[in-house]
Amino acid sequence: MESLNALFSLGFATALTPANLLWALLGCTLGTAIGVLPGVGPAVTVALLLPVTQSVDPTGALIMLAGVYYGAMFGGSTTSILLNTPGEAGSIVSALEGNKMAKAGRAGPALSTAAIGSFVAGSIATVLLTLLAPVIAGFALQLGPVETFALMMLTFAAVSAVLGNSPLKGFIALMLGLSMGLIGIESQSGQSRFTFGLMPLIDGIDIVVVAMGLFAIGETLYTATYENKIAGRIESLKGSFWMSKDDWKRSWKPWLRGTAIGFPFGTLPAGGTEMPTFLSYSAERKLASPEAKKEFGKGAIEGVAGPEAANNAAVTGTLVPLLTLGIPTSATAAIMLSAFQQYNIVPGPLLFDTNPELVWGLIASLYIGNVMLLVLNLPLVGLWVQFLKVPRPLLYGGIVVLATMGAYALRQSWFDLMLLYIIGVLGFMMRRFDFPVVPLVVGLIVGPMAEKHFRRAMSIHQGDLTVFLTHPISLAILTVTAAILIVPPLMKRRQKMLQA
Protein backbone atom coordinates (compact mmCIF):
# COMPACT_ATOMS: atom_id res chain seq x y z
CA MET A 1 0.00 0.00 0.00
CA GLU A 2 3.05 2.14 0.32
CA SER A 3 3.08 2.44 -3.43
CA LEU A 4 -0.51 3.75 -3.51
CA ASN A 5 0.49 6.30 -0.94
CA ALA A 6 3.43 7.42 -3.05
CA LEU A 7 1.29 7.45 -6.17
CA PHE A 8 -1.29 9.79 -4.68
CA SER A 9 0.91 11.99 -2.48
CA LEU A 10 3.82 12.33 -4.90
CA GLY A 11 2.69 11.08 -8.28
CA PHE A 12 -0.59 12.83 -8.85
CA ALA A 13 0.70 15.93 -7.07
CA THR A 14 3.45 16.10 -9.70
CA ALA A 15 1.40 15.00 -12.70
CA LEU A 16 -1.55 17.28 -12.00
CA THR A 17 0.41 20.54 -12.06
CA PRO A 18 -0.82 22.66 -14.99
CA ALA A 19 2.55 22.50 -16.73
CA ASN A 20 2.82 18.72 -16.52
CA LEU A 21 -0.80 18.25 -17.59
CA LEU A 22 -0.01 20.37 -20.59
CA TRP A 23 3.07 18.27 -21.42
CA ALA A 24 0.99 15.10 -21.13
CA LEU A 25 -1.69 16.52 -23.43
CA LEU A 26 0.90 17.76 -25.91
CA GLY A 27 2.64 14.37 -25.87
CA CYS A 28 -0.61 12.43 -26.37
CA THR A 29 -1.71 14.73 -29.19
CA LEU A 30 1.64 14.76 -31.02
CA GLY A 31 2.01 11.02 -30.47
CA THR A 32 -1.40 10.28 -31.97
CA ALA A 33 -0.84 12.71 -34.85
CA ILE A 34 2.51 11.24 -35.84
CA GLY A 35 1.64 7.65 -34.90
CA VAL A 36 -1.34 7.76 -37.23
CA LEU A 37 0.92 8.44 -40.22
CA PRO A 38 1.33 5.21 -42.16
CA GLY A 39 4.61 3.40 -41.63
CA VAL A 40 5.53 5.40 -38.54
CA GLY A 41 5.59 3.35 -35.34
CA PRO A 42 6.03 4.41 -31.71
CA ALA A 43 9.84 4.04 -31.78
CA VAL A 44 10.34 6.53 -34.57
CA THR A 45 7.67 8.83 -33.14
CA VAL A 46 9.50 9.04 -29.81
CA ALA A 47 12.84 9.49 -31.61
CA LEU A 48 11.44 12.24 -33.86
CA LEU A 49 10.10 14.15 -30.88
CA LEU A 50 13.15 13.68 -28.65
CA PRO A 51 14.83 16.91 -29.81
CA VAL A 52 11.64 18.84 -29.01
CA THR A 53 11.95 17.92 -25.34
CA GLN A 54 15.51 19.19 -24.95
CA SER A 55 14.47 22.52 -23.51
CA VAL A 56 11.96 20.99 -21.05
CA ASP A 57 12.67 19.92 -17.44
CA PRO A 58 13.25 16.15 -17.03
CA THR A 59 9.91 15.31 -15.36
CA GLY A 60 7.90 17.28 -17.92
CA ALA A 61 9.95 15.82 -20.77
CA LEU A 62 9.48 12.22 -19.65
CA ILE A 63 5.77 12.74 -19.03
CA MET A 64 5.51 14.14 -22.54
CA LEU A 65 7.50 11.25 -24.07
CA ALA A 66 5.33 8.70 -22.24
CA GLY A 67 2.31 10.46 -23.75
CA VAL A 68 3.96 10.29 -27.16
CA TYR A 69 4.65 6.57 -26.70
CA TYR A 70 1.05 5.81 -25.72
CA GLY A 71 -0.39 8.19 -28.30
CA ALA A 72 1.63 6.59 -31.08
CA MET A 73 0.16 3.21 -30.14
CA PHE A 74 -3.39 4.53 -30.28
CA GLY A 75 -2.72 6.32 -33.56
CA GLY A 76 -1.08 3.19 -34.98
CA SER A 77 -4.23 1.14 -34.52
CA THR A 78 -6.27 3.69 -36.47
CA THR A 79 -3.84 3.34 -39.37
CA SER A 80 -3.78 -0.45 -39.35
CA ILE A 81 -7.57 -0.62 -39.26
CA LEU A 82 -8.28 1.97 -41.94
CA LEU A 83 -5.26 1.59 -44.20
CA ASN A 84 -3.91 -1.90 -43.44
CA THR A 85 -0.34 -0.58 -43.06
CA PRO A 86 0.74 -1.46 -39.54
CA GLY A 87 3.50 0.85 -38.34
CA GLU A 88 5.05 -1.77 -36.07
CA ALA A 89 4.93 -5.46 -35.22
CA GLY A 90 2.38 -5.03 -32.42
CA SER A 91 -0.37 -3.78 -34.71
CA ILE A 92 0.03 -6.36 -37.50
CA VAL A 93 -2.68 -8.49 -35.92
CA SER A 94 -5.13 -5.60 -35.51
CA ALA A 95 -4.75 -5.03 -39.22
CA LEU A 96 -5.74 -8.66 -39.95
CA GLU A 97 -9.28 -8.42 -38.61
CA GLY A 98 -9.63 -4.66 -38.19
CA ASN A 99 -9.07 -3.83 -41.83
CA LYS A 100 -11.56 -6.54 -42.87
CA MET A 101 -14.11 -4.99 -40.51
CA ALA A 102 -13.48 -1.58 -42.05
CA LYS A 103 -13.89 -3.03 -45.54
CA ALA A 104 -17.25 -4.43 -44.45
CA GLY A 105 -18.36 -0.95 -43.37
CA ARG A 106 -17.70 -1.56 -39.66
CA ALA A 107 -14.74 0.80 -39.27
CA GLY A 108 -16.46 2.66 -36.42
CA PRO A 109 -16.91 -0.31 -34.08
CA ALA A 110 -13.41 -1.58 -34.98
CA LEU A 111 -11.85 1.76 -34.00
CA SER A 112 -14.01 1.94 -30.88
CA THR A 113 -13.12 -1.50 -29.62
CA ALA A 114 -9.45 -0.78 -30.30
CA ALA A 115 -9.52 2.54 -28.43
CA ILE A 116 -11.64 1.37 -25.48
CA GLY A 117 -9.69 -1.90 -25.29
CA SER A 118 -6.41 0.02 -25.26
CA PHE A 119 -7.79 2.26 -22.54
CA VAL A 120 -8.97 -0.68 -20.39
CA ALA A 121 -5.73 -2.60 -20.87
CA GLY A 122 -3.56 0.48 -20.36
CA SER A 123 -5.36 1.38 -17.13
CA ILE A 124 -5.27 -2.13 -15.65
CA ALA A 125 -1.63 -2.50 -16.65
CA THR A 126 -0.78 0.84 -15.03
CA VAL A 127 -2.39 -0.36 -11.79
CA LEU A 128 -0.24 -3.50 -11.99
CA LEU A 129 2.82 -1.34 -12.70
CA THR A 130 2.03 0.79 -9.64
CA LEU A 131 1.81 -2.26 -7.38
CA LEU A 132 4.64 -4.30 -8.90
CA ALA A 133 7.34 -1.75 -9.67
CA PRO A 134 8.36 -0.92 -6.07
CA VAL A 135 8.42 -4.63 -5.18
CA ILE A 136 10.66 -5.49 -8.12
CA ALA A 137 12.82 -2.44 -7.48
CA GLY A 138 13.28 -3.62 -3.89
CA PHE A 139 14.30 -7.04 -5.14
CA ALA A 140 16.55 -5.54 -7.80
CA LEU A 141 18.50 -3.65 -5.13
CA GLN A 142 19.93 -7.00 -4.07
CA LEU A 143 21.22 -7.78 -7.55
CA GLY A 144 24.93 -7.26 -7.99
CA PRO A 145 26.83 -6.84 -11.25
CA VAL A 146 26.92 -10.64 -11.72
CA GLU A 147 23.13 -10.97 -11.69
CA THR A 148 22.59 -7.80 -13.69
CA PHE A 149 24.95 -9.04 -16.39
CA ALA A 150 23.07 -12.37 -16.48
CA LEU A 151 19.78 -10.47 -16.87
CA MET A 152 21.24 -8.55 -19.78
CA MET A 153 22.33 -11.78 -21.44
CA LEU A 154 18.74 -13.01 -21.06
CA THR A 155 17.50 -9.81 -22.71
CA PHE A 156 19.92 -10.27 -25.61
CA ALA A 157 18.91 -13.90 -26.10
CA ALA A 158 15.22 -13.11 -25.89
CA VAL A 159 15.16 -10.17 -28.28
CA SER A 160 17.31 -11.87 -30.88
CA ALA A 161 16.00 -15.45 -30.74
CA VAL A 162 12.34 -14.93 -29.99
CA LEU A 163 11.51 -12.00 -32.28
CA GLY A 164 11.47 -12.33 -36.05
CA ASN A 165 11.48 -15.48 -38.11
CA SER A 166 15.18 -16.37 -37.98
CA PRO A 167 17.20 -16.48 -34.75
CA LEU A 168 20.41 -16.21 -36.82
CA LYS A 169 19.29 -12.94 -38.37
CA GLY A 170 18.26 -11.71 -34.93
CA PHE A 171 21.71 -12.60 -33.64
CA ILE A 172 23.43 -10.76 -36.49
CA ALA A 173 21.29 -7.69 -35.82
CA LEU A 174 22.26 -7.90 -32.15
CA MET A 175 25.97 -8.14 -33.04
CA LEU A 176 25.65 -5.11 -35.32
CA GLY A 177 24.03 -3.19 -32.45
CA LEU A 178 26.73 -4.29 -30.01
CA SER A 179 29.43 -3.26 -32.53
CA MET A 180 27.90 0.20 -32.85
CA GLY A 181 27.72 0.43 -29.08
CA LEU A 182 31.49 -0.20 -28.87
CA ILE A 183 32.31 2.94 -30.84
CA GLY A 184 33.61 5.81 -28.72
CA ILE A 185 35.30 6.24 -25.36
CA GLU A 186 35.05 3.20 -23.12
CA SER A 187 33.79 4.27 -19.71
CA GLN A 188 36.01 2.13 -17.42
CA SER A 189 39.42 2.78 -18.91
CA GLY A 190 38.87 5.95 -20.95
CA GLN A 191 40.27 4.25 -24.07
CA SER A 192 38.76 5.20 -27.40
CA ARG A 193 37.65 2.27 -29.52
CA PHE A 194 36.76 2.00 -33.22
CA THR A 195 36.81 5.76 -33.70
CA PHE A 196 39.14 5.52 -36.73
CA GLY A 197 40.72 8.78 -35.67
CA LEU A 198 37.48 10.66 -36.29
CA MET A 199 36.71 13.21 -33.60
CA PRO A 200 32.90 13.10 -33.89
CA LEU A 201 32.94 9.36 -33.16
CA ILE A 202 34.53 9.85 -29.72
CA ASP A 203 31.14 10.41 -28.08
CA GLY A 204 29.77 7.29 -29.75
CA ILE A 205 26.81 6.97 -32.08
CA ASP A 206 23.67 8.63 -30.77
CA ILE A 207 20.57 6.43 -30.55
CA VAL A 208 18.49 9.19 -32.12
CA VAL A 209 20.59 8.91 -35.29
CA VAL A 210 20.30 5.11 -35.23
CA ALA A 211 16.54 5.07 -34.66
CA MET A 212 15.85 7.72 -37.31
CA GLY A 213 18.26 6.08 -39.73
CA LEU A 214 16.77 2.61 -39.35
CA PHE A 215 13.13 3.52 -39.11
CA ALA A 216 12.69 6.77 -41.05
CA ILE A 217 15.46 6.81 -43.68
CA GLY A 218 15.61 3.03 -44.15
CA GLU A 219 11.84 2.85 -44.52
CA THR A 220 11.80 5.70 -47.04
CA LEU A 221 14.56 4.12 -49.15
CA TYR A 222 12.68 0.83 -49.05
CA THR A 223 9.36 2.37 -50.03
CA ALA A 224 10.97 4.35 -52.87
CA THR A 225 12.72 1.26 -54.21
CA TYR A 226 10.07 -1.41 -53.78
CA GLU A 227 6.66 -0.02 -53.00
CA ASN A 228 5.97 2.88 -55.35
CA LYS A 229 3.44 0.89 -57.31
CA ILE A 230 1.53 -0.42 -54.31
CA ALA A 231 -1.28 1.97 -53.59
CA GLY A 232 -2.95 1.99 -50.19
CA ARG A 233 -6.70 2.37 -49.92
CA ILE A 234 -8.22 4.24 -47.00
CA GLU A 235 -11.45 2.70 -45.81
CA SER A 236 -14.06 5.34 -45.12
CA LEU A 237 -15.71 5.87 -41.77
CA LYS A 238 -19.32 5.26 -42.61
CA GLY A 239 -22.19 3.81 -40.64
CA SER A 240 -22.55 3.90 -36.90
CA PHE A 241 -19.45 4.89 -35.04
CA TRP A 242 -20.50 3.41 -31.71
CA MET A 243 -20.34 -0.19 -30.72
CA SER A 244 -23.65 -2.01 -30.51
CA LYS A 245 -24.72 -3.95 -27.42
CA ASP A 246 -23.56 -7.10 -29.13
CA ASP A 247 -20.17 -5.54 -29.90
CA TRP A 248 -19.72 -4.70 -26.22
CA LYS A 249 -20.69 -8.22 -25.24
CA ARG A 250 -18.16 -9.68 -27.65
CA SER A 251 -15.39 -7.24 -26.70
CA TRP A 252 -15.10 -7.08 -22.94
CA LYS A 253 -13.75 -10.57 -22.38
CA PRO A 254 -11.10 -10.27 -25.12
CA TRP A 255 -10.02 -6.95 -23.58
CA LEU A 256 -9.42 -8.60 -20.21
CA ARG A 257 -7.81 -11.70 -21.70
CA GLY A 258 -5.60 -9.52 -23.90
CA THR A 259 -4.49 -7.56 -20.84
CA ALA A 260 -3.74 -10.77 -18.96
CA ILE A 261 -1.61 -12.04 -21.86
CA GLY A 262 0.05 -8.74 -22.71
CA PHE A 263 1.23 -7.44 -19.36
CA PRO A 264 3.40 -10.41 -18.26
CA PHE A 265 5.00 -10.54 -21.71
CA GLY A 266 5.85 -6.87 -21.47
CA THR A 267 7.51 -7.27 -18.09
CA LEU A 268 9.69 -10.17 -19.22
CA PRO A 269 12.95 -9.37 -20.88
CA ALA A 270 11.51 -11.39 -23.76
CA GLY A 271 9.83 -8.08 -24.52
CA GLY A 272 8.12 -6.74 -27.50
CA THR A 273 4.48 -6.69 -28.49
CA GLU A 274 4.64 -9.14 -31.38
CA MET A 275 4.30 -12.35 -29.34
CA PRO A 276 1.48 -11.31 -26.99
CA THR A 277 -0.63 -9.87 -29.81
CA PHE A 278 -0.31 -13.04 -31.87
CA LEU A 279 -1.02 -15.16 -28.79
CA SER A 280 -4.08 -13.11 -27.95
CA TYR A 281 -5.28 -13.40 -31.53
CA SER A 282 -5.02 -17.17 -31.58
CA ALA A 283 -6.59 -17.41 -28.11
CA GLU A 284 -9.59 -15.35 -29.24
CA ARG A 285 -9.90 -17.40 -32.37
CA LYS A 286 -10.04 -20.60 -30.32
CA LEU A 287 -12.39 -19.24 -27.65
CA ALA A 288 -14.83 -17.52 -29.99
CA SER A 289 -18.45 -18.68 -30.18
CA PRO A 290 -19.28 -20.81 -33.23
CA GLU A 291 -20.91 -17.87 -35.05
CA ALA A 292 -18.02 -15.56 -34.27
CA LYS A 293 -15.54 -18.22 -35.39
CA LYS A 294 -16.97 -18.01 -38.88
CA GLU A 295 -16.25 -14.28 -38.89
CA PHE A 296 -12.52 -14.72 -38.20
CA GLY A 297 -10.62 -13.83 -41.33
CA LYS A 298 -13.57 -11.74 -42.48
CA GLY A 299 -13.53 -9.18 -39.68
CA ALA A 300 -14.25 -10.51 -36.19
CA ILE A 301 -14.40 -7.87 -33.48
CA GLU A 302 -12.73 -10.23 -30.98
CA GLY A 303 -9.66 -10.31 -33.23
CA VAL A 304 -9.28 -6.55 -32.83
CA ALA A 305 -10.30 -6.22 -29.18
CA GLY A 306 -7.93 -8.87 -27.78
CA PRO A 307 -4.69 -8.00 -29.62
CA GLU A 308 -5.18 -4.25 -29.15
CA ALA A 309 -5.55 -4.77 -25.41
CA ALA A 310 -2.56 -7.13 -25.37
CA ASN A 311 -0.50 -4.58 -27.28
CA ASN A 312 -1.17 -1.77 -24.84
CA ALA A 313 -0.78 -3.94 -21.76
CA ALA A 314 2.57 -5.19 -23.06
CA VAL A 315 3.78 -1.65 -23.71
CA THR A 316 2.96 -0.66 -20.15
CA GLY A 317 4.61 -3.91 -19.03
CA THR A 318 7.91 -2.92 -20.71
CA LEU A 319 8.03 0.02 -18.30
CA VAL A 320 8.52 -2.44 -15.41
CA PRO A 321 12.01 -3.63 -16.41
CA LEU A 322 12.84 -0.15 -17.75
CA LEU A 323 12.03 1.68 -14.52
CA THR A 324 13.05 -0.98 -11.98
CA LEU A 325 16.08 -2.62 -13.63
CA GLY A 326 17.08 0.01 -16.14
CA ILE A 327 16.85 -2.59 -18.91
CA PRO A 328 14.92 -1.69 -22.07
CA THR A 329 13.28 -4.66 -23.78
CA SER A 330 11.87 -2.98 -26.89
CA ALA A 331 13.12 -0.42 -29.39
CA THR A 332 10.84 2.27 -27.98
CA ALA A 333 11.90 1.50 -24.41
CA ALA A 334 15.54 1.79 -25.52
CA ILE A 335 14.87 5.26 -26.90
CA MET A 336 13.02 6.19 -23.71
CA LEU A 337 16.09 5.06 -21.76
CA SER A 338 18.28 7.34 -23.82
CA ALA A 339 15.88 10.17 -22.97
CA PHE A 340 16.57 9.46 -19.28
CA GLN A 341 20.31 9.40 -19.99
CA GLN A 342 20.01 12.76 -21.74
CA TYR A 343 19.22 14.18 -18.29
CA ASN A 344 21.84 12.06 -16.51
CA ILE A 345 19.10 10.06 -14.83
CA VAL A 346 19.83 6.35 -14.50
CA PRO A 347 16.66 4.24 -14.43
CA GLY A 348 16.92 1.30 -12.06
CA PRO A 349 16.06 0.32 -8.51
CA LEU A 350 17.62 3.47 -7.05
CA LEU A 351 15.41 5.71 -9.14
CA PHE A 352 12.52 5.16 -6.71
CA ASP A 353 14.68 6.61 -3.92
CA THR A 354 16.63 9.28 -5.77
CA ASN A 355 13.89 10.68 -8.03
CA PRO A 356 10.56 9.64 -6.48
CA GLU A 357 8.72 12.67 -7.88
CA LEU A 358 9.86 11.80 -11.36
CA VAL A 359 8.98 8.08 -11.23
CA TRP A 360 5.65 8.48 -9.50
CA GLY A 361 4.80 11.55 -11.55
CA LEU A 362 5.52 9.52 -14.68
CA ILE A 363 3.34 6.62 -13.49
CA ALA A 364 0.50 8.95 -12.45
CA SER A 365 0.69 10.65 -15.83
CA LEU A 366 0.07 7.27 -17.46
CA TYR A 367 -3.36 7.12 -15.80
CA ILE A 368 -4.09 10.66 -16.96
CA GLY A 369 -2.67 10.02 -20.43
CA ASN A 370 -4.92 7.00 -20.89
CA VAL A 371 -8.02 9.09 -20.23
CA MET A 372 -6.75 11.86 -22.52
CA LEU A 373 -6.12 9.37 -25.28
CA LEU A 374 -9.57 7.86 -25.00
CA VAL A 375 -11.05 11.32 -25.48
CA LEU A 376 -8.59 12.22 -28.24
CA ASN A 377 -9.19 9.01 -30.14
CA LEU A 378 -12.88 8.33 -29.81
CA PRO A 379 -14.76 11.54 -30.51
CA LEU A 380 -11.88 13.08 -32.44
CA VAL A 381 -10.94 10.09 -34.60
CA GLY A 382 -12.35 11.86 -37.68
CA LEU A 383 -9.64 14.49 -37.29
CA TRP A 384 -6.80 11.94 -37.31
CA VAL A 385 -8.28 10.22 -40.33
CA GLN A 386 -7.57 13.45 -42.23
CA PHE A 387 -3.87 12.82 -41.58
CA LEU A 388 -4.16 9.58 -43.49
CA LYS A 389 -5.16 11.57 -46.56
CA VAL A 390 -1.78 13.32 -46.82
CA PRO A 391 -0.32 11.99 -50.10
CA ARG A 392 2.41 9.45 -49.47
CA PRO A 393 5.28 11.26 -51.26
CA LEU A 394 4.77 14.42 -49.23
CA LEU A 395 4.34 12.41 -46.04
CA TYR A 396 7.69 10.65 -46.44
CA GLY A 397 9.31 13.91 -47.54
CA GLY A 398 8.15 15.53 -44.31
CA ILE A 399 9.30 12.61 -42.15
CA VAL A 400 12.75 12.62 -43.78
CA VAL A 401 13.12 16.37 -43.24
CA LEU A 402 12.16 15.94 -39.57
CA ALA A 403 14.58 13.02 -39.19
CA THR A 404 17.50 14.92 -40.73
CA MET A 405 16.67 17.92 -38.58
CA GLY A 406 16.69 15.75 -35.44
CA ALA A 407 20.08 14.30 -36.36
CA TYR A 408 21.54 17.65 -37.35
CA ALA A 409 20.29 19.39 -34.20
CA LEU A 410 22.36 17.06 -32.00
CA ARG A 411 25.69 18.73 -32.82
CA GLN A 412 25.01 21.00 -35.79
CA SER A 413 27.27 18.81 -37.85
CA TRP A 414 26.96 17.25 -41.27
CA PHE A 415 28.79 14.23 -39.88
CA ASP A 416 25.61 13.09 -38.11
CA LEU A 417 23.74 13.48 -41.40
CA MET A 418 26.25 11.17 -43.05
CA LEU A 419 25.88 8.63 -40.23
CA LEU A 420 22.13 8.95 -40.61
CA TYR A 421 22.36 8.08 -44.29
CA ILE A 422 24.74 5.16 -43.74
CA ILE A 423 22.48 3.72 -41.03
CA GLY A 424 19.51 4.37 -43.33
CA VAL A 425 21.12 2.19 -46.00
CA LEU A 426 21.74 -0.47 -43.35
CA GLY A 427 18.06 -0.23 -42.34
CA PHE A 428 17.09 -0.58 -46.00
CA MET A 429 19.16 -3.76 -46.34
CA MET A 430 17.81 -5.18 -43.06
CA ARG A 431 14.27 -4.54 -44.26
CA ARG A 432 15.02 -6.07 -47.66
CA PHE A 433 16.46 -9.27 -46.16
CA ASP A 434 13.99 -9.52 -43.27
CA PHE A 435 16.36 -8.79 -40.39
CA PRO A 436 14.64 -7.67 -37.18
CA VAL A 437 15.80 -4.23 -36.04
CA VAL A 438 14.83 -4.45 -32.35
CA PRO A 439 17.93 -6.53 -31.41
CA LEU A 440 20.14 -3.87 -33.02
CA VAL A 441 18.58 -1.02 -31.05
CA VAL A 442 18.58 -2.98 -27.78
CA GLY A 443 22.17 -4.14 -28.39
CA LEU A 444 23.33 -0.59 -28.99
CA ILE A 445 21.86 0.66 -25.70
CA VAL A 446 22.30 -2.36 -23.43
CA GLY A 447 25.69 -3.48 -24.85
CA PRO A 448 27.81 -0.83 -23.11
CA MET A 449 25.87 -1.38 -19.87
CA ALA A 450 26.45 -5.13 -20.07
CA GLU A 451 30.18 -4.63 -20.59
CA LYS A 452 30.38 -2.33 -17.58
CA HIS A 453 28.62 -4.85 -15.35
CA PHE A 454 30.73 -7.70 -16.69
CA ARG A 455 33.98 -5.92 -15.94
CA ARG A 456 32.75 -4.81 -12.55
CA ALA A 457 31.80 -8.42 -11.75
CA MET A 458 35.24 -9.57 -12.89
CA SER A 459 37.12 -7.07 -10.77
CA ILE A 460 35.09 -7.96 -7.67
CA HIS A 461 35.65 -11.68 -8.19
CA GLN A 462 39.28 -11.53 -9.36
CA GLY A 463 38.51 -12.53 -12.92
CA ASP A 464 36.78 -15.75 -11.91
CA LEU A 465 34.34 -16.52 -14.74
CA THR A 466 32.59 -19.26 -12.75
CA VAL A 467 30.83 -16.65 -10.56
CA PHE A 468 28.08 -16.49 -13.16
CA LEU A 469 27.32 -20.14 -12.45
CA THR A 470 27.93 -20.22 -8.69
CA HIS A 471 25.62 -17.33 -7.81
CA PRO A 472 22.19 -18.97 -7.63
CA ILE A 473 20.16 -16.10 -9.14
CA SER A 474 22.60 -15.67 -11.97
CA LEU A 475 22.63 -19.44 -12.59
CA ALA A 476 18.82 -19.48 -12.75
CA ILE A 477 18.73 -16.57 -15.21
CA LEU A 478 21.43 -18.11 -17.40
CA THR A 479 19.57 -21.44 -17.40
CA VAL A 480 16.47 -19.70 -18.71
CA THR A 481 18.65 -17.93 -21.28
CA ALA A 482 20.06 -21.26 -22.46
CA ALA A 483 16.55 -22.72 -22.64
CA ILE A 484 15.36 -19.84 -24.84
CA LEU A 485 18.22 -20.52 -27.22
CA ILE A 486 18.05 -24.31 -27.24
CA VAL A 487 14.41 -25.33 -26.84
CA PRO A 488 12.72 -23.70 -29.89
CA PRO A 489 15.12 -25.20 -32.48
CA LEU A 490 14.78 -28.61 -30.82
CA MET A 491 11.00 -28.38 -30.92
CA LYS A 492 11.13 -27.37 -34.56
CA ARG A 493 13.32 -30.32 -35.36
CA ARG A 494 10.97 -32.67 -33.51
CA GLN A 495 8.01 -31.30 -35.40
CA LYS A 496 9.81 -31.86 -38.69
CA MET A 497 10.66 -35.43 -37.69
CA LEU A 498 7.05 -36.08 -36.75
CA GLN A 499 5.88 -34.69 -40.06
CA ALA A 500 8.35 -36.75 -42.06
Positions in 250-279 near another protein (CB under 8 A): 274, 278
Identify whether the C-beta of residue 266 lies closer than 8 Å to the C-beta of residue 132: no
Site string for another protein, 197-236 (x = CB under 8 A): --------------------x--xx-xxxxxxxx------
The b/e string for 112-124 (b: 16+ C-beta within 10 A; e otherwise) is bbbbbbbbbbbbb
Closer Cβ to another protein, 239 or 397, answer by number: 397
Provide the minimum distance between the beta carbon of 408 and another protein in the complex, in angstroms, as a whole number.
7
Terminal-to-terminal C-alpha distance of the chain: 56
Nearest to 451 by CA among 175, 262, 186, 144: 186
Site for another protein in 6-65 (CB under 8 A): 51-52, 54-55
What is the radius of gyration, based on Cα positions, of the chain? 22
Stretch binding another protein (CB under 8 A), from 17-25, 74-82, 88-96, 344-352: 88-96
Identify whether the C-beta of residue 112 lies closer than 8 Å to the C-beta of residue 71: no
Count of residues near another protein by CB under 8 A: 78
Site for another protein in 360-419 (CB under 8 A): 391-394, 396-398, 400-402, 404-405, 408-409, 412, 414, 417-418
Helix (H) or strand (E) holding 329: none
Alpha carbon distances (Å) from 449 to 93, 98, 443, 453: 34, 40, 10, 6
The single residue among 240, 244, 289, 459 that binds another protein, judged by CB under 8 A, is 459
Phi/psi at 184 (nearest 5 deg)?
A: 115, -165
193 touches another protein (CB under 8 A): yes
The single residue among 179, 232, 342, 378 that binds another protein, judged by CB under 8 A, is 179
The single residue among 458, 473, 475, 485 that binds another protein, judged by CB under 8 A, is 458
Site for another protein in 287-346 (CB under 8 A): none
196 touches another protein (CB under 8 A): yes
4 touches another protein (CB under 8 A): no
The b/e string for 375-384 (b: 16+ C-beta within 10 A; e otherwise) is ebbbeebeeb
Site for another protein in 423-442 (CB under 8 A): 424-425, 428-429, 432-434
Phi/psi at 89 (nearest 5 deg)?
A: -55, -40
166 touches another protein (CB under 8 A): yes
466 touches another protein (CB under 8 A): no
The single residue among 93, 162, 301, 305 that binds another protein, judged by CB under 8 A, is 93
Q: Which 3 state secondary structure label does DSSP give 193?
A: strand
Provide the minimum distance between the beta carbon of 389 and another protein in the complex, in angstroms, as a whole number.
14
Residues facing residue 184 across a β-bridge: 193
> In the 8-state DSSP scheme, what is residue 465?
T
